[in-house]
Amino acid sequence: MADAVMDGAAIDGGETPLRVGGFTLTSRLVVGTGKYASYAEMARCLEASGTDCVTVAVRRERLLNAAGENILDHLDVSRYTLLPNTAGCFSATDAVRVARLGRELLRDLGNAGSEWVKLEVLGDQKTLLPDPVGTLEATEQLVADGFTVLVYTSDDPIIARRLKDLGAASVMPAGSPIGSGQGILNANSLSICLEYLKDGDPEYPVIVDAGVGTASDVAAAMELGVDGVLLNTAIAHAAAPVRMARAMRAACAAGRDAFLAGRIPRKRYAMASSPETDRIHSASAPTV
Amino acid sequence: MTLSEAKQEIVVTVNGEPHRLVEGGTAHDLLVAIGLDGRPVAVEVNEVVVPRASLPECVLRQDDQLEIVTLVGGG
């Protein structure tokens, strides 16, 4: 029964899964594989999160210790779809190179994720904010090269719409800087992003990526109507990462249900929950 | 072996470091020499991805720049 409570799909049987390009994901959380204390802890956290899609990065192989561990020794690639990222790229040229290398790695593995990429083109090291110009350029090039592009961007609705127009399969606005844990800093902008991206296209997937700090951030994002949340640091660097992964799973399901349930409007003044008529009152009591 | 038959060595760059190999050697030969041919890696030569199946036909030349990469943890 506890599992049914945690599994959003079980609660709302009619809901469709998350679809991005040609990919179907059963979980609305995408979880990163970086920053964990150990590969074993990473594996436990991914399991607890309920995700079926994890991001990975592409880096130079060690040339000296070829017998060392590889992350693939600890990732069940038949269970998780791998989403390679272009993290650490500060130019469109580098991002395109890394995306192509990621594609080759996943083709070699036979993993379903070989034709997609989480595109990041960063502007500077301190903020890790996206470079909008490089991001637009790389999106265009990778779409032309046949990639399904999930693109990391800011919460600026104009750039978001341009990225969608260039063919990005999903636009992924940051809630706040990568790893900052500040959650959704500008819900107004994020709402406008959703409005623009889903205009005439309600199924277009919008995934909040970056800045999640704790479970309520995930719930808040889902309540706004985003289709999924991508996070890494909030789990990996929590004091108890596996417990936080469980919390994220529950928050994602709760936020999604709340969104679909249709919340009450915010009102300035009160509206009683108990009947206003047929109350008993003393002769001396106030009558309002 | 006469001087004209002796194979020359070339130097290529791999992940930013120089590597020597016999002239006519392929990218596959290089992977074997480094001990990476059984590992989950992808190879780029002069900024172009060389698919695994093509590595044995990819003859390296002096000053070629290679990147050999793998998957690691990341967000």
> The complex's ipTM?
0.92
State whether residue B42 sits within 8 Å of chain A by CB: yes
Tally of domains in chain B: 1
C-alpha A114/C-alpha A159 separation (Å) is 26
CATH classification at residue B57: 3.10.20.30
Label the pairing between strands A53-60 and A29-32.
Answer: parallel
A57, A226, A280 from B49: Cα distances, Å: 17, 35, 82
Q: Which two tokens stand for residue A60?
A: 């130079």
How high is the pLDDT of residue B7? 77
Q: What is the pLDDT along chain B (75 residues), one digit of tens a residue?
A: 555 556 789 999 999 999 999 999 999 999 999 999 889 999 999 999 999 999 999 999 999 999 999 999 999
The residue extents of the domains of chain A are: 23-63+70-261
Radius of gyration of chain B (CA): 13
Residue B4 is assigned to a structural domain of this protein: no
Task: Indicate which of A31, A51, A60, A230 best probes the interface with B, i.e. most B CBs within 10 Å of its own CB.
Answer: A60
Q: What confidence tens digit (pLDDT) does each residue in A157-185 have?
A: 999 999 999 999 999 999 999 999 999 99
C-alpha A171/C-alpha A169 separation (Å) is 7
Q: What confidence tens digit (pLDDT) does each residue in A133-157 have?
A: 999 999 999 999 999 999 999 999 9
C-alpha A228/C-alpha B68 separation (Å) is 33
C-alpha A10/C-alpha A55 separation (Å) is 25
Q: What is the value of pTM for the model shown?
A: 0.91
What is the residue range of B43's domain?
A: 9-69
- Average pLDDT over every residue of A200-207: 97
Q: Which CATH architecture has domain A23-63+70-261?
A: Alpha-Beta Barrel (3.20)
How high is the pLDDT of residue A8? 43
- Average pLDDT over every residue of A106-129: 91
Q: Is A63 within 8 Å of B68 when comparing Cβ atoms? A: yes
State whether residue B41 sits within 8 Å of chain A by CB: yes
How high is the pLDDT of residue A5? 39
Q: Is A61 within 8 Å of B36 when comparing Cβ atoms? A: yes
% helix / strand / coil in chain A, to the nearest 5? 40, 15, 45
Pairs of residues, one from chain A and one from chain B, whose beta carbons lie less than 8 Å apart = 107
- A267 part of the active site: no
